[in-house]
A and B are shown apart, each in its own frame.
Chain A
Amino acid sequence: MLTKRIIACLDVDAGRVVKGIRFLNLKDAGDPAELAAAHSEAGADEIVLLDISATHENRNTLLETVRRTARQLFIPFTVGGGVRTLEDAGAIFDAGADKISMNSAAIATPDLITEIANRFGSQAAIVAIDAKRDEKTGGFEAWVQGGRRQTGQNAITWARQAEDRGAGEILLTSMDRDGTEQGFDCELTKAVADSVRIPVIASGGAGNAQHFTEVFKEGHADAALAASIFHFGLRSIAELKQQLQAAGIPMRCAC
């Protein structure tokens, strides 16, 4: 049986893993290569590395970080942040990534999704959507540039378009829940997961095993991603997977 995936995310700034709350207040969490290897050892099904600064000057630092992280990693490895062109994507694949996650650039230039999917395959083209609830309408809006700019685009409509353009997966982050450890946004996740035919990775708000159970059962997520709860040793992935398995969620357990 196909298992649900637990994905460890490394938010990287200038070659170091950091983590913030609601996209702000960053604190240092360690070396990306060491953390990726440790998470893989603990049973993570995939590693995602997001370059959260993604400034032009940092591109070479990022590629070196990707290269170093990929070297000893034999599970799927996604890299995102600042991917604007097919050439950006090519350099990241060459450095050892298996999938590219694109966000702002995909909204600005949706053709980029198709270009990457045609060149590297849909399985390598992930569209990341940062979604925030609009208090007035109750709908979900896609935000870009690390959560700094509104797009006016409905997150669910955008997810469908991304699929049509060739995206192989959607990485869906709830900006309202990010870093809060109050649980995933199951309503948002379900709305997107039920609207597309490609896998949806839920992100933002993981705090305990119950949150993961909810997002798989109620949110219909195919995978769930978390960062801080893994890095700061609050919970090992192996232990989390045992609990989810016991709750009836199919897991790949080394246990």
Chain B
Amino acid sequence: MIAIVDYRAGNLTSVKKALDQVGADSVVTSDPEVVSLAEKIVLPGVGHFSATAHLADSGLRDAIANTIRRGVPFLGICVGLQWMMESSEEAPEVPGLGIWPGECVRFPASVKSPHVGWNQLEFRDGPSRLLRGIPSGSYVYFTHSYRVPLLANTVAESEYGGRFSAVVEQDRMFGVQFHPEKSGAIGLRLLENFCSLRVTAGSCDPEVLTEQNVD
């Protein structure tokens, strides 16, 4: 069962619908216990970074952090990715989960903001489980005003008033700035890749675990 975390930020209908479409068994939940028991977690997000404060208030933050620590695959979408960073200029008083170092920053005044529309993914060197079967240069749908800088774990970047992280991937932790649930066949393929990651249960050491269906 995949837990789609509901933290009252925007609507989750389209994420749920896309997971249904790729045949994944998922549930929309705001219950920390359901999150703790999930095989995988998806943290969607549209809207304001400050909405993520609800994750800490509701106990979801701890549940997510503990579950990630046990090696359960996690996918953050849009604000969900931004929350995996330390913080965001959009709401400096709200801490992110801090999986990756740095701050989300606003687009420069030289470009219109929000960045809305279909932009290209440019893959960096190195394998990605999330992007399996997807060609570099593919178009995906973005809508956001803040962006994650390029990181050591960035596997795909995009360009809009400068380069930024479009896909970040480290061990079982994945984040995408665009909306795979709104990116047509490419987005569905990415979600399918995430949903079909197989994780050998019973071990806590990521080095010992294997993703059996990695190409």
Contact = CB atoms under 8 A, between A and B. Distances in A.
Interface of A: 1-5, 40, 45, 70-71, 74-76, 93-96, 98, 118, 120-124, 168-169, 197-199, 222-223, 252
User: Which A-B residue pairs are the 7 nearest by beta carbons?
Assistant: A121-B47, A123-B143, A252-B139, A93-B11, A252-B118, A121-B46, A2-B119
A252 B178 CA distance: 15
A121 B116 CA distance: 13
A225 to B, nearest CB: 13
Contacts of A252: 118, 139
B21 interface: yes
B183 to A, nearest CB: 7
Contacts of A76: 141, 143, 179, 182
B21 A199 contact: no
A122 B188 contact: no
Interface in B147-196: 159-160, 179, 181-185, 187-188
Contacts of A94: 11, 13
Interface stretch (B65-73, B107-115, B123-131): B107-115
A105 B28 CA distance: 32
Given A2-B118, A74-B181, 20 more contacts: A1-B119, A1-B159, A3-B117, A70-B13, A74-B17, A74-B21, A74-B184, A93-B11, A94-B11, A96-B13, A98-B11, A121-B9, A121-B46, A121-B48, A123-B116, A169-B116, A197-B113, A198-B112, A199-B116, A199-B117
A3 B144 CA distance: 15
A93 B14 CA distance: 9
A63 to B, nearest CB: 12
A5 B13 contact: no
A112 to B, nearest CB: 17
Interface string B40-67: 0000001110000000000000000000
